[in-house]
A and B are shown apart, each in its own frame.
Chain A
Amino acid sequence: MTGFGTALRLALRRNLVFYLCWIAGLAMLLPATVTKYHDLVPDGPSGAVMLAQLAANPTMRAILGPAIDLTTAGGFTFWRVGTFTAAGAAMMAALGVIRATRDEEENGRVELIRSGAVSRAVPLAAGLALAVAASLFCGAVIGASMAALAGVAGGWASGLGIGLTGAMFAAVAAVVAQVFESSRTARAWSVGVLLGGLYLARALVDGSRTEPDAWTWAMPLDWAALARPYAGERWWVLALPAAVTIVLSALAFRLEALRDHGAGLRQPSLGAADAAPYLRDARGLSWRLQRGGIVGWTIAIVVSALSMGSLSLSMGSLLEGQDALAEMLRRLGGGAGALQAAFFAAMLSIMATVVTLSGVLVLGRLRQEETAGRAEVMLATATSRWAYALSTLVPAVLLPAGLLVATGALLPIAQAQHDGSPDLIGTYTQAACALLPGVVLVLGLAMFLIGWLPRWFGLSWAVVGWTIVVSWLLPLFDVPDWLLKLQPWGHLPHLPADEMTWGAFSVTLAAGAVLLVLGAVGYRRRDIYGR
């Protein structure tokens, strides 16, 4: 392996920020949850009853994983965020491997490396080694923090389980990267099809049984939980992900030796020689470029709205007598009195931030197309700036708006069916509509940046990130009210608990609309940069 050290240093240099960001996010979840355990779960029998109900809820198990032992802070914490964190580590590692191998190869940089005095498999080895090391490092951070906070053995079992799940998917991605020529396809397969598919399979399996059985063991994403952190650790289980990592890594190197540089084991498929009739202007092109994302987002939001909605059925019994928890939910729900209303309001404000993310992603294309030099090609045709901007801006606003309204209609369906009160659907559709100005405001800000300060478009992500923190996390802590209101949705009414306040609604909507128009005007007036 001549040149391995150099290649590894190069990979580290190019991916350090990527991994640090991921690890910072992932490693925080377990320690943050375990410190909140005593606020969430009351001592004594009422706490035990609540935990039993939680563990008995199929939707909760489908989302979170098998409920092994929830009676300790560590065990509860691992159930609440452990399997999720493991899947996150898997995603980080898979993306990291594709980034460092197929991406670099597609862009012709691996060619430069391999023309040096470097063994053939070195780029793969460096990318894989770095991803495995990053996964294990992430596990070590989690292990050390949990060991300090909730017990040594369970802490390290949690950390190792998560780290090895990450390592396993680094190896999965290494194999996938040998199969496909394009990094885009390799990414879609390793993260979308394999990791996403396995997470879905795990959800189905865990949701449908109360005790782990053979099917549970067949789910690689459940292995970390099956090692029973904080529930009488079963260390040997951790040999499973380790063994899979080794076998798949060996397979990846074997496959790498079979293919040409730049090629995949599978030939890329050929497409149409002529464009479909709808591909005739910027609008058709935009639909073609965005349709995959639009369809994917729609499916994801519909499924999550329906499944979150079904949780509301068990909400009442779950929170009976749990004043602290109910209070927390009320804070998330913007202060609604009735628990059910608080629950729906909380889910709506969380979903409002998520669907806004879809809008910013769609709008980001306008900027990406410019920096890639493709906007220039379209703007050199009879496409006006205005038409070109609108081709992306319209779906960027309509998609999140439609998804938010759909969320409002879908969330209460299970409850409405159960209570025989279909008017709930109308009520929460209205509630969703009352939040629409916030979506417009964020997109207005993003468009304003594209129009006037294109280099600062990244700020839009920071804004979305901030709204997620404010809507999801801050209400759980004791923070001043003004801070909770310091976000696009801050002053909007939470129907039906609040009165409809047209003032805040109109002001937010108008601000968003003005920013959208200003942004479009700026885009029309400014220079378009090519490559």
Chain B
Amino acid sequence: MTSAIDIAGLTKRFGATVALDDLTMQVRTGQVHGFLGPNGAGKSTTIRVLLGLLRADSGTAVLLGGDPWRDAAALHRRLAYVPGDVNLWPNLTGGEAIDIIGRARGGLDKRRRDDLIARFDLDPRKKGRTYSKGNRQKVALIAALASDVELLLLDEPTSGLDPLMERTFTDYIRTERDAGCTVLLSSHILSEVEALCDVVSIIKSGRIVQTGTLDELRHLHRTVVVAELADPSVVSGLPGVSERTRSDGRTTWHVADEAMPAVLAALARAGARGVTATPPSLEELFLAQYAERASA
């Protein structure tokens, strides 16, 4: 498999602030890659470096086999971008904005454009200044999705959409992926990431702190096990296990992935009842990173 995006040791400073700190990350061709991180972690900066809008201080970035800074205009024919905070030309209509963005990229598919406008329920005759945040986002999304491109760079594209429109968006991205399109999706909406992404990278303070498939990430974190047990110490004493709460005879443990067989065996031996084992949700994975930030 080849890489659509290959970033190595990327550093970007704004004055004294280090926005990207030796960031390394790969997005394989054909993948939907989730890009998660708290506000200000460097998601938008990374995407802007990939678009050749910002010039990195050091490190390399290869985008679709080219240099995002030097070959910007040529590479941009093959990709589409949706910014996180869409601002439209106040006196151009939404339809005009979609057309100009699409045409400037090298052309858009008129049938797909009209289909998207219908599916996203957008009135393309309204002036840019009269759209709500969600509708501005739809304009940018339609402009991006109406072109036939190899790569989509989406910076929190659904933050203003209602759940129905978010669903439409999810469906469309799936179609794009099936057609072989690569997607880098920065997002805060974890259900969206879980539903769409093959691989997830979590960025914190300008560095990728974790990357992998959702399954891989789950294995790095502890499973929550709850059971009714007369003597919880037979489990609590095992290596890789920490006891959390005990109430009404029910005990909760956090169990490392490698300790699970021993815990399950101990639970069975002790005749435990009402056993549940819950793998960590993406939200917990994510919150674990936030919490580390808070304590750091």
Whose C-beta in chain B lies nearest to the C-beta of A380?
Answer: B81
Whose C-beta in chain A lies nearest to the C-beta of B117?
Answer: A273
B83 within 8 A of A: yes
Using known A-B contacts A181-B130, A272-B93, A384-B73, determine if residue A373 contacts B99 with beta carbons closer than 8 Å. no
Complex CA gap A385/B76 in Å reads: 12
- Which of B51, B72, B83, B96 contacts A272 (CB under 8 A)? B96
Complex CA gap A362/B125 in Å reads: 27
Residue-wise interface mask of A (269-283) relative to B, using a CB-CB cutoff of 8 A (1 in contact, 0 not) = 011111110011110
Q: Are B100 and A279 in contact (CB under 8 A)?
A: yes
CB distance from B13 to the nearest CB of A (A): 11
CB distance from A450 to the nearest CB of B (A): 16
Q: Are A377 and B140 in contact (CB under 8 A)?
A: yes
A211 within 8 A of B: no
- Which of A275, A276, A381 contacts B76 (CB under 8 A)? A381
Using known A-B contacts A285-B100, A372-B87, A527-B55, determine if residue A382 contacts B44 with beta carbons closer than 8 Å. no
Complex CA gap A531/B103 in Å reads: 23
Q: Are A270 and B100 in contact (CB under 8 A)?
A: no
A376 within 8 A of B: yes
Q: Which residues of A sit under 8 angstroms from B104, Cβ to Cβ?
A: 280-282, 285, 378, 381-383
Q: Which residues of A sit under 8 angstroms from B85, Cβ to Cβ?
A: 373, 530-531
Whose C-beta in chain A lies nearest to the C-beta of B81?
Answer: A380
A182 within 8 A of B: yes
CB distance from A282 to the nearest CB of B (A): 7
CB under 8 Å from chain B, chain A span 378-429: 378-385, 387
Q: Which residues of A sit under 8 angstroms from B124, Cβ to Cβ?
A: 273-274
Q: Which residues of A sit under 8 angstroms from B106, Cβ to Cβ?
A: 381-382
- Which of B55, B80, B95, B153 contacts A274 (CB under 8 A)? B95
Q: Are A106 and B55 in contact (CB under 8 A)?
A: no
Q: Which residues of A sit under 8 angstroms from B54, Cβ to Cβ?
A: 527-528
Q: Which residues of A sit under 8 angstroms from B98, Cβ to Cβ?
A: 275
Whose C-beta in chain A lies nearest to the C-beta of B113?
Answer: A274
The size of the chain B interface, using a CB distance under 8 A, is: 44
Q: Which residues of A sit under 8 angstroms from B125, Cβ to Cβ?
A: 270-273
Q: Are B101 and A381 in contact (CB under 8 A)?
A: yes
A374 within 8 A of B: yes
Q: Which residues of A sit under 8 angstroms from B99, Cβ to Cβ?
A: 274-275, 279-280
Number of A-B contacts (CB under 8 A): 127
Q: Are A289 and B89 in contact (CB under 8 A)?
A: yes
CB distance from B220 to the nearest CB of A (A): 34
Complex CA gap A57/B90 in Å reads: 45
Q: Are A268 and B130 in contact (CB under 8 A)?
A: yes
Q: Are A273 and B101 in contact (CB under 8 A)?
A: no
Residue of A271, A379, A381, A387 with most chain B CB atoms under a 10 A cut-off: A381
Q: Which residues of B sit under 8 angstroms from A373, Cβ to Cβ?
A: 83, 85-87
Complex CA gap A525/B85 in Å reads: 24
Q: Are B87 and A271 in contact (CB under 8 A)?
A: no
Using known A-B contacts A382-B106, A527-B55, determine if residue A376 contacts B83 with beta carbons closer than 8 Å. yes
Q: Are A384 and B72 in contact (CB under 8 A)?
A: yes
B91 within 8 A of A: yes
Q: Are A275 and B53 in contact (CB under 8 A)?
A: no
CB under 8 Å from chain A, chain B span 55-106: 55, 72-74, 76-77, 80-81, 83, 85-93, 95-101, 103-106
Q: Which residues of B sit under 8 angstroms from A525, Cβ to Cβ?
A: 55
Q: Are B87 and A374 in contact (CB under 8 A)?
A: yes
B48 within 8 A of A: yes
Contacts from A to B (Cβ < 8 Å): 106, 181-182, 184, 268, 270-276, 279-282, 284-285, 288-289, 372-374, 376-385, 387, 525-528, 530-531
Listed A/B pairs (5) with beta-carbon separation below 8 Å: A275-B96, A279-B96, A378-B104, A382-B77, A530-B48
Q: Across chains A and B, which 9 residue pairs bring their CB atoms closest together, nearest first?
A: A275-B99, A271-B93, A381-B104, A270-B125, A380-B81, A275-B96, A384-B73, A280-B103, A273-B95
Q: Knowing that A182-B129, A273-B124, A280-B100 are A-B contacts, what are 8 other residue pairs whose CB atoms are under 8 Å apart, sorted by A's residue number?
A: A274-B99, A275-B98, A280-B103, A374-B89, A377-B81, A381-B105, A382-B73, A382-B105
Contacts from B to A (Cβ < 8 Å): 44, 48, 51-55, 72-74, 76-77, 80-81, 83, 85-93, 95-101, 103-106, 123-127, 129-130, 140, 153
